[in-house]
Amino acid sequence: MNRSLVSTSARLPHEHPPDERAKVLEVNHLDVSYRVRDRERLAVRDVSFEIGRQESFGLVGESGCGKSTTALAVTRYLPSNGRISSGGVKVNGHDLTSMDKASLRRLRARTVSMVYQEPMKALNPSIRIGRQLSEVYEIIGLKRAEALERAEAMLRNVQISDPGLVMRRYPHQLSGGMQQRVIIAMALASEPSLLILDEPTTALDATVEAEVLDLVALLRQEFQTAVLFISHNLAVIAKMCDRVGVMYAGELVEEGPAEQVFEDPRHPYTVGLLRCVPQRGQRKDHGRLDTIPGFLPGPGQVPRGCVFAQRCSLADERCVSEAPPMYEVTPLRSSRCHYHEDAPRVPRSTPADVQLPESGELDRAEAPVIRLRGVSKTFKVRGESVRAVSDIDLDLRLGETLGLVGESGCGKSTLARVLLGLTPPDEGSVIELDGLPLAGRCSERDREQLQAIQIIFQNPDSALNRRHSVRHIVTRALRKLAGLSGDACETRLVEVVRSVRLEESHLALRPRHLSGGLKQRVAIARAFAGSPRVLVCDEPTSALDVSVQAAILNLLADLQSRERVTYVFISHDLGVVRYLSDRIAVLYLGKVMEYGPAETVFAGPHHPYTEGLLSALPNLDGVQGERVKLEGELPSAAHPPAGCVFHTRCPRRLSSGVCESSEPPLVEVEPDHMMRCHIPITELRRLQGKEPSGQEEAQRTSAAT
Amino acid sequence: MTADSDLTAALVGAKAESASVEAGAMTDVLDRAPFVVVSSSGAQDLSPRRIRAEQLRQLVHSKAFIVGALILLWWIVCAIFGTLFVPYNPLSQSLLNVNAAPSAAHWFGTDSLGRDVFSRVIVGARDILEIAPLATLVGTAVGTAIGLAQGYFRGAFDMLVGRLVDALLALPTVIVAFLFIVAVGANTLTLVIVIGFTFAFIIARTVRTAVLQERELDYIAAARLRNENAFHIMFVEVLPNVLGPIIVEFTVRLGYAIFTIATLSFLGFGVQPPTPDWGATVASNYQYLAAGYWWQTLFPALAIASLVVAINLVGDSMEAALLQ
């Protein structure tokens, strides 16, 4: 891996010789507009920033804030209806806006590379990886044989262990993480001065994301490339970037060194964004998350004053009437806010108070609402049986949240579908509701049983019938599940809609007229219509922006404490799971690896798999522990490894060989904490540096009793 | 917002369509936001009516639609009121004035029995514009029901109907219709049923494909979790979401129906003479082409062609407006 490329890179002819004094990228007062229905709409307004040699600059903001448009404008690769309406972009000192097609093409081939979110869409599905990658070298002017050789070396650079094999593969034969590595290899092949990464890891699992990010950081050093990194994820930007620009409604509202911006934000929007994310182990009973009220202004609507004034709790008349310039906060950073001095003290928009359930402590002895015993699900795929969920025992208690955690393909969604009766489980699986067995298919369950278990789906666009009005959607659920009709139904409809903080005026609308957050509220209203006892939340916020996510999480927490609903909360975002969950089950290849109270599971000692998941999580706290890497790829569920299913990727595999040969049972390693691992808990505690201090130990014993 | 395209693709020189894809995505983003803003203040003008108005606006702005709709309207007026404004009775023969070339008195000339070709073409619109839409309507209704059931139940039923459709598609519609008419006898009802029946299976195939995509969506799972019955799921949940392709299929099939009826009439198995149907008129006059009496065949043939083209123009523009 540590091969130097300096000698080879010297041979690559550069059309635009990098001027050592010039910045890699200079964006000056950039305006970009899109022509929609014969009207020009400004999507990016007056954006200026610079990226120096080998610097990494992050653009962060919610969807629709113009970050991708900025990236496209930087390469002049806007769609046909978009154009740079004023301002300038310079790459290595060369003005991009006045460039002709041929030099633009050369610039894109040599100087600037881009990596997008969906690796599958960026690769040609019918060309082998080797050919696709070597083509990039041929365009630069290398002979075919040499190009192939360089391609193979490049694949080794992006840490693909068997490049020869991968070169002969087609894109669909590679996992998402491998595909993204290939894309990064292609992007770096020309040794560009600027690499633009537009949400490069958003479509990937947290563990894969962590590896790709590590790789990008490493290659940036090696190739001495400047990076423009675009993401909605504040933690990822904080981890990857030297400097950061926060965008809102097409404007750059704050800019400065990443550490300072995230530690001490000076724009109310940045402050709001940071408060929306559950941080530092924040939990639902510690307080509600802060939110950003209101909505993004529509594109083309240019307010006279500050773009954020409508949603800002600091805003006064000056903000509405006078657009703030980019104030220099310190020589290194600037903020587009009249009151940037006061920004860190923005009052909360949502009070933090929590209504705790009256009973306070949940009664441990209470019989569980749902009991799962030996639940398995085997799919037949092309004659092979794939065990998606394997022999799971779990209890759901009233008013508690069970967090299901694991990488994609670990069986968490299948388990949820089995519970709901959408996917019938294998023979012998037992699902009990209040001690009575439930049929495997929802069509065989009676109304009360259906009413008891409902779901909030991940994607409201798919979950809501787009031809039905909000009124129809919620009313139908009230009729069928709650058995209401007439006036009673109408009264309850208004009640339910208000409880999810929608207005009655929304009732007449169809889903397409609503924003993502409002749509998800409709889905929640439908799920709550029948007053369920158990609600499965399948990644309910992963399609939403962080400010909207905070509002939805608050809503879920409020509804739970008011109605004592039990949640099964599925998410890949461990921060979100931690915020909402009382108990956590960590799944791997359809098996429970660790199960216990949320605090215990997060505090450790962890199962090595949980340890890997937690370590992959980028955080904003600035303290990044030693990375525990999970090696290799998720094995196929059709051929799970012998012994412990996790041994192929386990960083703490025992040298005695017991992990390969025999499967550890799920046992209680400490009170109420189950784990499936051969390594004794004392040893795990020592390895993970979690020697309990006297205080912690005392806490734990008091919690257990 | 995700950008669908990729610069690496551009370097490799395969950039062709990505820009337009992106433009689409961009329009979507831009379209969505204004609604969001308005919905915070109130719900005055975001009714589905506004979207329909937008679709209508787009249709009216399309030249193809205007031309097609005008031609279609003309033939509909002819079919309904034609008898009121034709210069001659289309059935009255004038043996003193047979095979007259087009003139001021007889714009399209006269046929071998001295009947006015112009009047016959005008009135001839009636039968075809009665049978074709009826047949297509029957076909669409039955086809939609079959397609919904196929897509929703899948399994053996889907297999069986699927193979039946394959078998039917192997034979030209005209041959199938031909067989039925020989067995049952030619009349309007038979034509409607026979054409409707053969179209139904073709339409079912389109509907089935659309339903298969829909049934994977979570709102179907949500309906199952409310214990909705199959009928409700198919007709209340799924049907409104697959109406677009069904309407498009209707217009396309309407064009084919006109063609099929004209062909059957030409072969003598459709509308029977002396009714001035276009297909039948072409059939009874084409033998005189060799004698130089071209007007007797050309004008009814042009009428058929213009109607089919008009329907296709309307259909294509509706497809563009509805399925974007």
Q: How far is B222 from chain A (nearest CA, A)?
A: 7
Ranges for all domains in chain B classified under CATH 1.10.3720.10: 54-322
Kindly list the residues from chain B whose CB atom is less than 8 angstroms away from the CB atom of residue A136: 8, 11-12
Kindly list the residues from chain B whose CB atom is less than 8 angstroms away from the CB atom of residue A455: 221-222, 225
Q: Which of A187, A468, A509 sits opposite B43 (nearest CB)?
A: A509
Task: Look at residue A254 and tell me if it is in a domain.
Answer: no
Q: Which of B11, B29, B241 sits opposite A108 (nearest CB)?
A: B11
Same-domain pairing of A638 and A522 = no
Q: Considering only the top CATH level, what class is B54-322? A: mainly alpha
Same-domain pairing of A202 and A309 = no
β-strands A583-588, A401-405: how paired?
parallel
Residues of chain A with pLDDT under 50: 1-13, 15, 358-360, 694-701, 703-705
- Model confidence over A326-362: pLDDT tens digits? 999 888 999 999 998 888 888 887 777 765 554 445 5
Same-domain pairing of A276 and A408 = no
Mapping DSSP to helix (H, G, I), strand (E, B) and coil, where does residue B190 land? helix
Q: Determine, for residues B37 and A297 on separate chains, whether the beta-carbon distance falls below 8 Å.
A: yes
Q: Determine, for residues B8 and A454 on separate chains, whether the beta-carbon distance falls below 8 Å.
A: no
Q: How many CA atoms within 13 Å lie on the side-chain side of A471?
A: 9
Largest CA distance in chain B: 79
Kindly list the residues from chain B whose CB atom is less than 8 angstroms away from the CB atom of residue A118: 2, 4
Residue A159, burial from CB neighbour count under 10 angstroms (0-12, 13-18, 19+): middle
User: Chain A window 663-682: which residues touch B at a Cβ cutoff of 8 Å?
Assistant: none
Distance CA A293, CA A551 (A): 9
Same-domain pairing of A201 and A60 = yes
CATH code (residue A427): 3.40.50.300
Closest residue on chain B to A61 (Cα): B1
Closest residue on chain A to B58 (Cα): A37
Distances (CA, A) of B43 to A499, A606, B34: 20, 51, 12
Bridge partners of A453?
A534
Q: Using an 8 Å Cβ cutoff, are A276 and A61 in contact? A: no
User: Chain A window 222-241: which residues touch B at a Cβ cutoff of 8 Å?
Assistant: none
The sheet with strand A56-60 has its strands ordered as A112-115, A194-198, A226-231, A56-60, A243-248, A251-257, A333-335, A327-330
- Give percent of chain A above pLDDT 90: 38
Q: Determine, for residues A187 and B34 on separate chains, whether the beta-carbon distance falls below 8 Å.
A: no
Closest residue on chain A to B230 (Cα): A443
Number of domains in chain A: 4
Q: Which residues contact A356 (CB under 8 A, 6 or more apart)?
A: A285, A561
Where are the strands (E) in chain B, listed by range? none
Distance CA B64, CA B58 (A): 11
The last residue of a domain, from among A206, A241, A276 = A241
Q: How far is A110 from chain B (nearest CA, A)?
A: 9
The pLDDT score that the predictor gives to residue A375 is 94
The pLDDT score that the predictor gives to residue B9 is 35
Q: Which of B19, B29, B222 sits opposite A64 (nearest CB)?
A: B29
Task: Look at residue A355 and tell me if it is in a domain.
Answer: no
Closest residue on chain B to A37 (Cα): B27
Please provide the DSSP assignment of B198-217 as one string: HHHHHHHHHHHHHHHHHHTS
- Count of C-beta atoms within a 10 Å radius of residue A321: 12
Q: Which of A196, A199, A298 sits opposite B2 (nearest CB)?
A: A199
Q: How far is A690 from chain B (nearest CA, A)?
A: 41
Q: How many CA atoms within 13 Å lie on the side-chain side of A571?
A: 26
Whether A295 has its CB under 8 Å from any CB of chain B: the answer is yes
Same-domain pairing of A319 and A384 = no
Q: Determine, for residues B11 and A183 on separate chains, whether the beta-carbon distance falls below 8 Å.
A: no
User: Cis bond leading into B274, ω under 30°?
Assistant: yes
Q: Which of A81, A116, A187 sits opposite B26 (nearest CB)?
A: A81
Same-domain pairing of A545 and A603 = no
Kindly list the residues from chain A whose CB atom is less than 8 angstroms away from the CB atom of residue B23: 79-82
The pLDDT score that the predictor gives to residue B11 is 33
Residues in chain A: 705
Q: Using an 8 Å Cβ cutoff, are A234 and A273 in contact? A: yes
Q: Determine, for residues B218 and A296 on separate chains, whether the beta-carbon distance falls below 8 Å.
A: no
The pLDDT score that the predictor gives to residue A527 is 93
Q: Determine, for residues B9 and A109 on separate chains, whether the beta-carbon distance falls below 8 Å.
A: no
Closest residue on chain B to A417 (Cα): B221
Same-domain pairing of A337 and A402 = no
Measure the CA angle with vertex A332, ends A331 and A335; round to 5°: 90
Task: Look at residue A422 and tell me if it is in a domain.
Answer: yes
The pLDDT score that the predictor gives to residue A363 is 53
Kindly list the residues from chain B whose CB atom is less than 8 angstroms away from the CB atom of residue A68: 1-3
Q: Determine, for residues B227 and A443 on separate chains, whether the beta-carbon distance falls below 8 Å.
A: yes
Measure the CA angle with vertex A119, ends A247 and A35; round to 5°: 45
Tell how far CA A424 is from the center of its chain. Answer: 30
Q: Determine, for residues B6 and A139 on separate chains, whether the beta-carbon distance falls below 8 Å.
A: no
The pLDDT score that the predictor gives to residue B50 is 67
Q: Which of A187, A457, A476 sits opposite B226 (nearest CB)?
A: A476
Distances (CA, A) of A471 to A463, A467, A552, B52: 15, 12, 20, 20
Q: Determine, for residues B39 and A513 on separate chains, whether the beta-carbon distance falls below 8 Å.
A: yes
Closest residue on chain A to B228 (Cα): A480
The pLDDT score that the predictor gives to residue B280 is 87
Quick one: which of B288, B244, B265, B147 has its CA closest to B195? B265
Q: Determine, for residues A116 and B6 on separate chains, whether the beta-carbon distance falls below 8 Å.
A: yes
The pLDDT score that the predictor gives to residue B144 is 96
Q: Which residues contact B104 (CB under 8 A, 6 or more apart)?
A: none
Q: What is the pLDDT along chain B (324 residues), one digit of tens a residue?
A: 333 333 333 333 333 333 333 333 333 333 333 333 333 333 334 455 666 777 788 788 888 899 999 999 999 999 999 888 888 888 888 888 888 888 888 888 888 888 888 999 999 888 889 999 999 999 999 999 999 999 999 989 999 988 988 888 888 878 888 888 888 887 888 889 988 988 998 899 999 999 999 999 999 999 999 989 999 999 999 999 999 889 889 988 999 999 888 888 888 887 777 788 888 888 888 888 888 888 888 999 999 999 999 999 998 888 888 765
Q: Which of B7, B31, B42 sits opposite A108 (nearest CB)?
A: B7
Task: Look at residue A687 and tell me if it is in a domain.
Answer: yes
Task: Look at residue A247 and tell me if it is in a domain.
Answer: no
The pLDDT score that the predictor gives to residue B69 is 92
Q: Determine, for residues A114 and B7 on separate chains, whether the beta-carbon distance falls below 8 Å.
A: yes
Q: Determine, for residues B2 and A463 on separate chains, whether the beta-carbon distance falls below 8 Å.
A: no
Q: Determine, for residues A298 and B36 on separate chains, whether the beta-carbon distance falls below 8 Å.
A: yes
Whether A572 has its CB under 8 Å from any CB of chain B: the answer is no
Same-domain pairing of A314 and A274 = yes
Q: Which of B2, B34, B39 sits opposite A509 (nearest CB)?
A: B39
Q: What token pair was written down for A267?
A: 């724009």
Closest residue on chain B to A296 (Cα): B37
Kindly list the residues from chain B whose CB atom is less than 8 angstroms away from the CB atom of residue A513: 35, 39, 46
Tell how far CA A277 is from the center of its chain. Answer: 12
Distance CA B196, CA A651 (A): 67
With tokens 């990098």, the residue in question is A18
Kindly list the residues from chain B whose CB atom is less than 8 angstroms away from the CB atom of residue A112: 7
Largest CA distance in chain A: 80
Q: Determine, for residues A508 and B43 on separate chains, whether the beta-carbon distance falls below 8 Å.
A: yes
Substitution target from A248, A465, A466 for chain B, most B beta carbons within 10 A: A465
The pLDDT score that the predictor gives to residue A691 is 61
Distance CA A457, CA A380 (A): 25
Same-domain pairing of A303 and A163 = no
Same-domain pairing of A416 and A537 = yes
* ipTM entry: 0.81
Closest residue on chain B to A501 (Cα): B40
Q: Which of A121, A442, A476 sits opposite B6 (nearest CB)?
A: A121
Structural domain of A699: 594-704
Kindly list the residues from chain B whose CB atom is less than 8 angstroms away from the CB atom of residue A81: 23, 26-27
Whether A135 has its CB under 8 Å from any CB of chain B: the answer is yes
Same-domain pairing of A529 and A643 = no
Substitution target from B4, B5, B11, B236 for chain A, most A beta carbons within 10 A: B11
Q: Which of B11, B23, B48 sits opposite A510 (nearest CB)?
A: B48
